[in-house]
């Protein structure tokens, strides 16, 4: 019969293998999402006129196409910041399995998280449709109206200072504590999916205003998307995450004032 040290080493080997598999899966998912966005940007010219009709009304297929684009974009932007929580779930799940009390597969938790961002993608698609109808977007899906750009910058900057932002950010920085407050991870598939969904909703509460900035810099400006992705990730993982949103908020608010000043000059 193996001793405790041997059993512990075997467990750690299994956990390391699982961690590697989950990391590889998340990396592959992120890479596929970014690859799709790059293909759109380079292969299709990536303008709103290239993806949907120039008419003010979209067809159903064009709406679906834009929804898919937004969903893939959210997957590419948000998966890296969700990785720590998914890895924790995978580790806890493996230990629970070895104890004869398996949790729902990690994919259900991650799927719930991405489902939340898919709902956000649907809302963003509807917003883009409205802006397109109002002729407020350029062919590169950026704001064509200086006042709109300034207002979005100011809203995003102010939101960075709000208690709601701080509360959601605390959850995203330490989601395990929140999940433990809810009773821990779930064995039932539906409840695990719901837990991931709830985690995703908190992340939306943390980041939705930053996502609106895509309409300022360009919905498919890959450099702008990368910058926003880095800011979101930094807020969640850096020790300076508590004050970083406030600094970012000041910068965004100041930029909004400058933009609006130009509109009235």
CA distance 9 to 5: 6
Average pLDDT of the residues of the chain: 84
For 132-186, the pLDDT digits (tens) are 888 898 877 888 899 999 999 999 999 999 999 999 998 888 877 777 776 767 7
Residue 7 clears pLDDT 50, i.e. is over it: no
Reported as a pLDDT band with limits 50, 70 and 90, residue 14 is low
| Bigger pLDDT: 9 vs 1 | 9
Q: What is the pTM of this model?
A: 0.86
Give the percent of the chain with pLDDT over 70.
85
For 101-105, 196-200, 220-224, 237-241, which range has the lowest pLDDT when averaged over its residues?
237-241
Work out how many domains the chain is built from and give that number: 1
For 54-105, the pLDDT digits (tens) are 545 788 888 999 999 999 999 999 999 888 888 888 887 777 777 777 777 8
> In this predicted structure, what is the pLDDT of residue 265?
65
Domain span including residue 255: 4-264
């Amino acid at each position: 019969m193996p001793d405790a040290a041997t059993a512990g080493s075997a467990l750690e080997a299994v956990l390391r293998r699982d961690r590697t598999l989950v990391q590889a899966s998340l990396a592959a998912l992120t890479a596929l999402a970014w690859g799709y966005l790059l293909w759109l940007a380079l292969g299709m010219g990536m303008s709103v006129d290239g993806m949907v009709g120039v008419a003010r009304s979209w067809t159903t297929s064009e709406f679906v196409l834009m929804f898919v684009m937004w969903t893939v974009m959210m997957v590419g932007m948000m998966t890296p910041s969700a990785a720590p929580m998914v890895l924790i779930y995978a580790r806890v799940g493996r230990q629970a399995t070895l104890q004869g009390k398996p949790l729902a597969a990690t994919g259900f938790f991650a799927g719930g998280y991405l489902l939340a961002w898919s709902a956000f993608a649907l809302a963003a698609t509807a917003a883009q449709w409205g802006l397109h109808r109002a002729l407020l977007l350029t062919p590169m899906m950026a704001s064509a109206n200086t006042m709109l750009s300034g207002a979005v910058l100011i809203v995003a900057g102010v939101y960075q200072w709000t208690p709601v932002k701080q509360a959601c950010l605390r959850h995203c920085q330490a989601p395990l504590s929140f999940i433990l407050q809810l009773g821990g991870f779930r064995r039932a598939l539906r409840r695990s999916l719901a837990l991931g969904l709830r985690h995703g909703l908190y992340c939306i509460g943390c980041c939705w205003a930053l996502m609106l900035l895509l309409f300022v810099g360009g919905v498919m400006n890959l450099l702008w998307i990368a910058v926003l992705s880095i800011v979101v990730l930094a807020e969640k993982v850096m020790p300076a995450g508590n004050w970083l949103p406030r600094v970012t908020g000041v910068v965004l608010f100041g930029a909004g004032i400058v933009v609006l000043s130009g509109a009235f000059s």
